[in-house]
């Protein structure tokens, strides 16, 4: 599914996530070229450095997983400073890795 058809659904997801906590998300970036850091990624979500990690892992990531499964797209999540946080990539382990992230 291309990003054109997904945009209305994505906007609804963004609204739902933003309703969880004000100013949680700073930027959403949509990429036409889906090669980022060697993975096939459709959408990159950049979160503010101030985002509550517990909120992210316990509430936002489950929403992202559900959205990815329903729409067969892949979302990567990075902090604005681009380090240490990558919760989505198109490989056989990515769902398991994301689901286990909050348990570490």
Q: Using CA atoms, how far apart are residues 72 and 22, in angstroms rounded to an integer?
A: 28
**pTM: predicted TM-score of the whole model, two decimal places:** 0.56
The domain total for the chain is 1
- Reported as a single tens digit per residue, the pLDDT across 67-94 is 888 888 777 766 544 444 444 444 434 4
Strands 43-47 and 25-30: antiparallel
% of the chain exceeding 70 in pLDDT: 34
Token pair of 70 as six digits: 């329903």
Residue 34 lies in domain = 3-101
């Amino acid at each position: 599914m291309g990003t054109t058809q997904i945009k209305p659904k994505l906007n609804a997801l963004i609204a739902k996530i933003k309703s969880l906590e004000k100013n949680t998300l700073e930027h959403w970036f949509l990429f036409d070229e889906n090669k980022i850091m060697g993975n096939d990624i459709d959408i990159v979500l950049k979160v503010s450095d101030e985002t509550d990690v517990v909120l992210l892992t316990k509430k936002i990531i489950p929403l992202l997983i559900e959205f990815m499964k329903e729409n067969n797209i892949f979302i990567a999540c990075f902090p604005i400073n681009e380090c240490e946080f990558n919760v989505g990539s198109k490989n056989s382990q990515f769902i398991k890795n994301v689901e286990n992230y909050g348990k570490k």
